[in-house]
C-alpha cells in the first residue's frame, strides 16, 4: 500500500505495457498435458501447396476463438524465421560472419556476440512488436526483459477492443541457437516460447540502470529507483515456469528449414517450401519413439559429469542398459539440431551438469523450458537429471539448468541411475549430497512437483528448517490433490 501511495503522489511517469486486466491466479499448477483444443480436420487440401502453416493456424483459430491471437503471433514468428533463414544462408556472401563489431561485444552471459546474434535478435523482436499483442520479451541477447508494447513509433488505435488485447503476451526466445556454428555451415536454429501475461507490467525508462536499482536501491525514491521497483512486475510476468507456456517451438536451418510448433495439443512440424514461400505440414502429430538407440552429449566433458551419468552412458555404450544393445553417439553442438533428430529418431539428448558448470549451460527460460514443452507434447520427457524441467520456476531471466531429454524410456532409465546414486541420505557420499543440494536450490518452498513424470503434481518442495530453502520433497496424498 505504501508503494501505491508513493505512486499516487509522485510525478514519475511510468510506461504501462498493457492496460490492467483481471489477473489469473499465479499459483495455479498448470501442466503440459494435452489441452482441450478443437483440432480441425482438413478433408480438402490444395494439391499444389499442401497444408500450409498459414491455413493450419487459420483453421485452429476458427475452431478455437480463444486462440485467435496466436494465429497472429505464430505468423509473425514464422516470417521472422524465413528472414533469419535467408540471413544465415547468405551470411558468407553478405559478410555477416564473425563477431559483432569485429569482436569485443559481450552479452549478459559473458559470451562474445556474433554479428548474426544481434541481427536475428532484432528481426524477432520487431516481428513480435509489430503484432501489437506482445507486452514483454526476454531474449538471450537482451540483458533484461524488454518492453515492446508502448512504442512511440507504432500507430495507436484507441479502440477498447484493441486496448484490451494489447500487450497480452510475453515471448521468450533464443534468436540463433548454435550461432558459433554459422561460420562452418553447421545447422543452427531459433527457439521460442509464449506465455500469457497476467501481470500489469511497468518498465523503467531506457536511461535507468535496471540491474543496479534492483540490487542496490537508493535511500531516496528518485525516479529511476521507483521505476526499478515497479519493473519487478515485468520480471514477474517473464519468470514463469514451463507449465505456464501456451505455445512453443523451434525453427531449424539445415538441409531444409523446419518449423516445429506446439499449442499444447501435440507437435506439428512444417517444412519451408521455397517455391511458394510457405511452411508446409510434413510431419503431423509427431510422436517420439518410446526408446531410441542414439545418445547425444558432448563427451569432451565426460570426465567432469556427475558419476551416475558417466555410469549410465558407459552402460549404453557397452549394451548393458535396459535396451540390451549398444547405443550410437551423435552430437551436432546445436540444441535445435540435436533435439530435432531426437524427436524423429528417438534416444536421449543432454547438456548435463559438470564440475565446471554445475547448473549446465542451457538457459531455463528461453531454451530448456520451451524445448521441454515441445518434447513432452510429443510424448517424451525432459529433466535436469532428477527434476522435471517444466516444474522449475525461473529465478532470473538467464538462469541455467542441466538438460536431459528425449524418449520416455531412455530418460526414465537415466533418472534411475541418479535416483540410485542419491537414494538414501544416510549412505550418500559427498558427491551424491552435492547433487541433491543442487536440485533443491532450483526449487521454492511450497512448490508443487511432478516426480512421477506423468504431468500431474504429486509432491511438494518443503522447507522443514524454516530457513527459506528447500531441504526435502514430500509426496502429497491423492486426496489432498483433489
Q: What pLDDT digit, counting tens, does each position of 58-94 carry?
A: 999 999 988 889 999 999 999 999 999 999 999 889 8
> Which of 249, 244, 241 is closest to 266 using CA atoms?
249
- Least confident span in 166-170, 287-291, 346-350: 166-170
Identity of the highest mean pLDDT range in 158-167, 194-203, 253-262: 253-262
pLDDT of residue 108: 61
Is pTM beyond 0.75 here?
Answer: yes
Residue 27 carries which DSSP code? T
Contact between residue 125 and residue 186 where contact means Cβ atoms under 8 Å apart: no
Q: Distance between CA atoms of 386 and 411, rounded to whole angstroms?
A: 10
Beta strands 257-262 and 245-253 are: antiparallel
pLDDT of residue 292: 97
Q: Which residue has the higher pLDDT, 277 or 231?
A: 277
428-433 mean pLDDT: 88
pLDDT of residue 21: 35
The percentage of residues in the chain with a pLDDT greater than 90, rounded to a whole number, is 57
Q: Distance between CA atoms of 193 and 245, rounded to whole angstroms?
A: 7
What is the pLDDT confidence band of residue 210, given thresholds at 50, 70 and 90?
very low
Q: Which residues contact 154 (CB under 8 A, 6 or more apart)?
A: 129, 130, 132
Whether 482 shows a pLDDT value over 90: the answer reads: no
Q: Which residue has the higher pLDDT, 86 or 197?
A: 86
Residue pLDDT, tens place only, 101-160: 555 456 666 666 778 988 999 999 999 988 888 878 888 888 777 777 655 555 554 544
Beta strands 169-177 and 134-139 are: parallel
> Which of 243, 250, 244 is closest to 455 using CA atoms?
243
> Which of 128, 210, 106 is closest to 175 using CA atoms?
128
Q: Which residues contact 46 (CB under 8 A, 6 or more apart)?
A: none
Angle, alpha carbons 125-129-135 (nearest 5°): 105
Place of cell 543452427: 188
What is the pLDDT confidence band of residue 30, given thresholds at 50, 70 and 90?
very low
Whether 5 shows a pLDDT value over 50: the answer reads: no
Amino acid at each position: 500500500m505504501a508503494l501505491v501511495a508513493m505512486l499516487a503522489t509522485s510525478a514519475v511517469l511510468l510506461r504501462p505495457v498493457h492496460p490492467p486486466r483481471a489477473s489469473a491466479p499465479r499459483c495455479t499448477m498448470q501442466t503440459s498435458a494435452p489441452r482441450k483444443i478443437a483440432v480441425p480436420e482438413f478433408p480438402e487440401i490444395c494439391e499444389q501447396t499442401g497444408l500450409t502453416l498459414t491455413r493450419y493456424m487459420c483453421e485452429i483459430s476458427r475452431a478455437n476463438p480463444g486462440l485467435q491471437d496466436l494465429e497472429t503471433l505464430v505468423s509473425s514468428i514464422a516470417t521472422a524465421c524465413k528472414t533469419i533463414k535467408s540471413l544465415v544462408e547468405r551470411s558468407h556472401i553478405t559478410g555477416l560472419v564473425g563477431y559483432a563489431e569485429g569482436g569485443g561485444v559481450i552479452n549478459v552471459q559473458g559470451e562474445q556476440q556474433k554479428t548474426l546474434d544481434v541481427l536475428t535478435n532484432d528481426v524477432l523482436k520487431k516481428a513480435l512488436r509489430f503484432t501489437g499483442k506482445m507486452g514483454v520479451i526476454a531474449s538471450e541477447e537482451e540483458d533484461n526483459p524488454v518492453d515492446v508494447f508502448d512504442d512511440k513509433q507504432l500507430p495507436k488505435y484507441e479502440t477498447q477492443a484493441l486496448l484490451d488485447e494489447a500487450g497480452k503476451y510475453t515471448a521468450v526466445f533464443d534468436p540463433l541457437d548454435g550461432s558459433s556454428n554459422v561460420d562452418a555451415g553447421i545447422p543452427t536454429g531459433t527457439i521460442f516460447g509464449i506465455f500469457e501475461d497476467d501481470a500489469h507490467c511497468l518498465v523503467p525508462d531506457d536511461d535507468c540502470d535496471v540491474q543496479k536499482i534492483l540490487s542496490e536501491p537508493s535511500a531516496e525514491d528518485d525516479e529511476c529507483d521507483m521505476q526499478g521497483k515497479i519493473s519487478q512486475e515485468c520480471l514477474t510476468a517473464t519468470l514463469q515456469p514451463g507449465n505456464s507456456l501456451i505455445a512453443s517451438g523451434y525453427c531449424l536451418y539445415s538441409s531444409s528449414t523446419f518449423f516445429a510448433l506446439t499449442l499444447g495439443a501435440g507437435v506439428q512440424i512444417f517444412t519451408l517450401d521455397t517455391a511458394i514461400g510457405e511452411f508446409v505440414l510434413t510431419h503431423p502429430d509427431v510422436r517420439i519413439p518410446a526408446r531410441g538407440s542414439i545418445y547425444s552429449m558432448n563427451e569432451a566433458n565426460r570426465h567432469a559429469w556427475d558419476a551416475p551419468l558417466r555410469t549410465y552412458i558407459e552402460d549404453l555404450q557397452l549394451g548393458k542398459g535396459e535396451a540390451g544393445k549398444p547405443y550410437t553417439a551423435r552430437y551436432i553442438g546445436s540444441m535445435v539440431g540435436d533435439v530435432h533428430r531426437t524427436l524423429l529418431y528417438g534416444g536421449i539428448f543432454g547438456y548435463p551438469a559438470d564440475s565446471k558448470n554445475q547448473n549446465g549451460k542451457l538457459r531455463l527460460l528461453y531454451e530448456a523450458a520451451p524445448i521441454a514443452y515441445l518434447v513432452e507434447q510429443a510424448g517424451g520427457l525432459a529433466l535436469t537429471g532428477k527434476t522435471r524441467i517444466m516444474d522449475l520456476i525461473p529465478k532470473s531471466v538467464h538462469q541455467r539448468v542441466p538438460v536431459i531429454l528425449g524418449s520416455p524410456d531412455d530418460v526414465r532409465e537415466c533418472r534411475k541411475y541418479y535416483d540410485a546414486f542419491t537414494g538414501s541420505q544416510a549412505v550418500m557420499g559427498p558427491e551424491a549430497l552435492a547433487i541433491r543440494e543442487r536440485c533443491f536450490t532450483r526449487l521454492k518452498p511450497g512448490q508443487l512437483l511432478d516426480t512421477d513424470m506423468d504431468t500431474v503434481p504429486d509432491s511438494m518442495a518443503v522447507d522443514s528448517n524454516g530457513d527459506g530453502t528447500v531441504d526435502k520433497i514430500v509426496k502429497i496424498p491423492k486426496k489432498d490433490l483433489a
